[in-house]
Amino acid sequence: MPSATNTPPAATALQRIFGSTGLGNYLDLMYTVPVRLGETIVPLHLDTGSSDLWVVSDHCTDKACEDAQVDRYPSASLHSTGVDIDLYYGDSTTGSYASGVVCVDTVSLAGVTMLEQPFALVNDTDNHIIGYNAAGIFGLSFPSASRVQEELAAKTGPLVQTDHVVQTSRQNAPLLPRLAMSGAMELPMFTVQLHRGAIDRSGVGALTLGKLPDGIENSSLTWVPVRRYEIHEGGLHPPSFAATEVRIVLRWEIDIDGVFLDGKRVGDSMIPANGVDSERVSALIDTGNSVLRGPEDVVIDILSSVSSSYDPYAPSPIATLPCNMSRSLAFQIGGKMFPIDPRDFISQLEAGNTRTCQADNLVSTDPPTIGSLYRWSLGTPFFRSNFVAFYYGNLTHPSQDPPRIGFLSTVPDNAYQLLQDAIQNATLHGGNFPYAVEPAPIAGVASQSHIVVSPDGQYVMDTRRAQDHTSESSELPADIKNPSNPNTGSVNTSISIPLLLFNLLAFLRLFRL
């Protein structure tokens, strides 16, 4: 496993923290994690593709907030920094925004609490996640891409290269990077496991902080370095105290060796990049994206191969195919193949019909440009087929301990047979596949014990259950060790998908969800 070369003096080998929490699942489109901000507990959209944490306030009442049934952060609890902020998401066709003010409060996740954590309190947004069981977004990416941190650093004076941003990271960085820099976590990392709620319900969803979950061996993962940006590619200038760090990490983005359909390599995109290298092919590893996004010409090639009726020039092109036809789409990473489970490649086309499905989990996106070098964005279908570990490394001196991502395929050898079984089961139940709505497990958060971490890396423990969140060995605590159902206490609802829901699913896939 990657190991940190910088061990802050505040933490010792016998006091490292880790934690784990279950996830909510909205129709396999969006996954939520329970987060406590002050006295308010909310489900937030889990997003490795962005850096900032934001939540809607009780002043957000129109646009996406108008009919939303989510809890809001009370303005009466506001600890404002006086800094306004605008956040933008998506690509040229799926963009959304969130506007508000930067606030500070105590924030808790998976039993770990950070004091004085900055976040954006949003009063105006058109982001559709608010209507679907999420009160905002929890970004897990790097401080260098954090708008909250950038705005707070700018408040202290003019930016001299990136000195202000880096020097204030221990106070202003996003939640998980702050924990990583504090030295409190056993390792500066987190992992994501997403469960399947559509077509064939299976798996366990969990976010784990500080180490690999029990049962996952480091040797089973394929680790690859995170892509680092040169200044001319949109990267930041190096700080004056680390002038040799000329390549900055912006996001969880890695090189991919190739894309394969049914074992044959798909041709690379011929669409030129905008002002950057057109040859190098990289992918954003993004839980905030509900589909697989790739170059338009490659996507057309793949969909035309799997669907004889696919017309990319139709007003609303649909790639139909037999539900029981197993097509193998795979991404080669670090020299190893990581396939997409056939249950994650398709969705139901019509209510009551288990014969004809659609391949709507693959769509096109923008070509690379300055600041966004990736050609692919691998979203939740990829995460349901793969366990993914994210290692921050040394956030101020990445060349000393580079960030990495580890991958482990979770596609079973009998995945095609499981698809056939799911089709048969749906046929016996009115011709409709199940689609699950599972709220984030927020019920137990209020009574959960916490380890409180201060900005300088010092922390105090709730002695009643401190052993649940600290490690004196490589063992995970019993309540995390066997996570047969980390969503205990939540309400799981499996629904047979009606015709109206098909329209909703099609609508949501047009956006970044």
Q: For the chain, how big is the Rg over CA atoms in Å?
A: 22
Which tokens is 375 given?
């050609």
For 120, which DSSP code? E
246 confidence band (pLDDT: 50, 70, 90)? low
Q: How many residues does the chain have?
A: 513
Smallest CA-to-CA distance from 140 within 212, 188, 83 is with 188
Query: Among 11-15, 91-95, 414-418, 473-477, which is the least confidently predicted range?
Result: 473-477
CATH class of 19-214+435-462: mainly beta
Smallest CA-to-CA distance from 60 within 10, 131, 143, 122 is with 122
pLDDT at 478 over 90: no
Q: Output the pLDDT for position 402.
A: 94
Which tokens is 268 given?
């690379």
Q: How far is CA 203 from CA 22, 91, 484, in A?
A: 12, 30, 9
161 confidence band (pLDDT: 50, 70, 90)? low
CATH number 2.40.70.10 given to 216-431: yes
Q: What are phi and psi of 343, to 5 degrees?
A: -75, -15
Q: Which helix (H) or strand (E) holds 304?
A: helix 296-306
pLDDT at 486 over 70: no
Tell me the C-alpha distance between 192 and 513, whole Å.
Answer: 17
Q: Output the pLDDT for position 443.
A: 82
Q: Output the pLDDT for position 160.
A: 60
The predicted-structure confidence for 340-355, as pLDDT tens digits, reads as follows 999 999 999 999 999 9
Amino acid (one-letter) located at 200: D
The predicted-structure confidence for 200-241, as pLDDT tens digits, reads as follows 999 999 999 999 999 999 999 999 999 999 888 988 877 777
157 confidence band (pLDDT: 50, 70, 90)? low
Taking the domains of the chain in order of start, what are their residue ranges?
19-214+435-462, 216-431
Q: What are phi and psi of 31, to 5 degrees?
A: -115, 135
The predicted-structure confidence for 20-40, as pLDDT tens digits, reads as follows 999 999 999 999 999 999 999
Half-sphere exposure of 280 (CA within 13 A, CB side): 18
The predicted-structure confidence for 415-432, as pLDDT tens digits, reads as follows 999 999 999 999 999 999
Q: Output the pLDDT for position 496.
A: 42
How confident is the prediction for the chain on average, in pLDDT? 84
For 430, which DSSP code? T
Are domains 19-214+435-462 and 216-431 of this chain identical in fold?
yes
Contact indicator for 225, 373 with CB cutoff of 8 Å: no
pLDDT at 474 over 60: no
The predicted-structure confidence for 290-340, as pLDDT tens digits, reads as follows 999 999 999 999 999 999 999 999 999 999 999 999 889 999 999 999 999
Q: Output the pLDDT for position 462.
A: 52
pLDDT at 3 over 90: no
pLDDT at 501 over 90: no
8 confidence band (pLDDT: 50, 70, 90)? very low
Q: Output the pLDDT for position 503.
A: 47
Q: Output the pLDDT for position 156.
A: 63
Tell me the C-alpha distance between 201 and 494, whole Å.
Answer: 9
461 confidence band (pLDDT: 50, 70, 90)? low
pLDDT at 155 over 90: no
457 confidence band (pLDDT: 50, 70, 90)? low
Strands 459-461 and 264-265: unpaired
- Reported pTM: 0.88
- Tokens 């009726």 correspond to 309
- Tokens 């205990």 correspond to 488
Amino acid (one-letter) located at 410: T
Contact indicator for 4, 446 with CB cutoff of 8 Å: no
Question: Long-range contacts: 74-78, Cβ < 8 Å, 24+?
Answer: 74/40, 75/121, 77/38, 77/39, 77/40, 77/105, 78/103, 78/121
Contact indicator for 496, 430 with CB cutoff of 8 Å: yes
Q: How far is CA 407 from CA 219, 255, 404, in A?
A: 11, 13, 10
Q: Is 412 exposed, middle or buried (0-12, 13-18, 19+ CB in 10 A)?
A: exposed
Smallest CA-to-CA distance from 310 within 320, 322, 295, 302 is with 320
Q: Output the pLDDT for position 453.
A: 80
Sheet of 282-285: strands edge to edge?
Answer: 253-255, 282-285, 376-378, 292-294, 362-364
